[in-house]
Amino acid sequence: MRSSPAALDNRAAPDAGFRLEQTGPLAELVLCRPARHNAFDKALIQGLLGALRELAGRTEHSPRALLLRAEGKHFCAGADLDWMRDLSHADVEHNREDARQLALLMQTLDELPFPTLALVQGAAYGGALGLICACDIALASDDARFCLSEVGLGLVPAVISPYVVRTLGQRQARRYMLSAEPFDAITACRLNVIHQRFSPDALLEEGRALARTLCQNGPAAMADTKALLDKLAHLPASQHQALTVDTIARVRVGAEAQEGMQAFFDKRPPAWRPECKEKP
């Protein structure tokens, strides 16, 4: 897939702890603090939040999918312990503001108007589970290890809990949040934390292949699907019929659906598919 210079992005200072890149319709947000096991602190949280907001607000070269991954042996060790130690000496209001920034990061990742795909290797502890569960899809290497470790430190997995409970369900969340026991990739599949596992050598290739598949779909249709799923999760069942009927009626008459259906009958790719736009 060709990419134009305008569709390339690399925003991060060398010491920012992350890298944001976009080639064609696929964006990649890469955690790159391997010496600290990609643990996050105040600066990294603010940097990631800014990068996600910038992606969400793009009107030109908006991504069709986002790949969230990490460099080094581990995906993310959760919160940086030096940062947590500093916070333990701060007052409640200071801690509240720090927690609010982390909550905004999780919410922004969860509400992006395009699919998000997490690739997990090595350790994914504490807050890392929030990042994973806030993504639409998660793949992991066979060597990945997961742990909601907060109570073992006398803490509570509070900010990430909405996303973790949504993913695991109340029953399993109670066990793993209260026990702080680690679990492997096989168990993570069973708990719905990840969708599929691969060998460490194949993870990135398989993740990018799936992300490219996502990029072939109608961007407005994917955004509408994410919005629909979120509304269904919060509305009473009595309102589901009205929502679903209104959604499909509105989408069917839209330009993207009209083009998609016509392309199907014409036996050609739709004009909004990336390969069509990038052909000379």
Domain ranges of the chain: 5-215, 219-278
**Which token pair is 155?**
């803490």
pLDDT at 14: 53
pLDDT at 12: 54
Helices 92-110, 81-88: crossing angle, 10 deg rounding: 140
pLDDT at 5: 34
Residues 6 or more apart whose Cβ sits within 8 Å of residue 202: none
Q: Is residue 73 a contact partner of residue 125, using CB atoms and an 8 Å limit?
A: no
- CATH for 5-215, options being 3.30.505.50, 3.40.50.1260, 3.90.226.10, 3.10.270.10: 3.90.226.10
CATH architecture of 219-278: Orthogonal Bundle (1.10)
pLDDT at 60: 82
Round to whole Å and give the CA distance between 240 and 231: 9
- Torsion angles phi and psi, residue 271, rounded to 5: -65, -25
pLDDT at 236: 94
Measured from the Cβ of residue 264, the count of other Cβ atoms closer than 10 Å reads: 11
The pLDDT tens digits along the chain (280 residues) read 333 333 444 555 557 899 999 999 999 999 999 999 999 999 999 999 999 999 999 888 889 999 999 999 999 999 888 888 888 888 898 889 889 999 999 999 999 999 999 999 999 999 999 999 999 999 999 999 999 999 999 999 999 999 999 999 999 999 999 999 999 999 999 999 999 999 999 999 999 999 999 999 999 999 999 999 999 999 999 999 999 999 999 999 999 999 999 999 999 999 988 864 443 3
- pTM for the whole thing? 0.91
Residues 6 or more apart whose Cβ sits within 8 Å of residue 266: none
Report which secondary-structure segment, H or E, holds 145.
strand 145-147
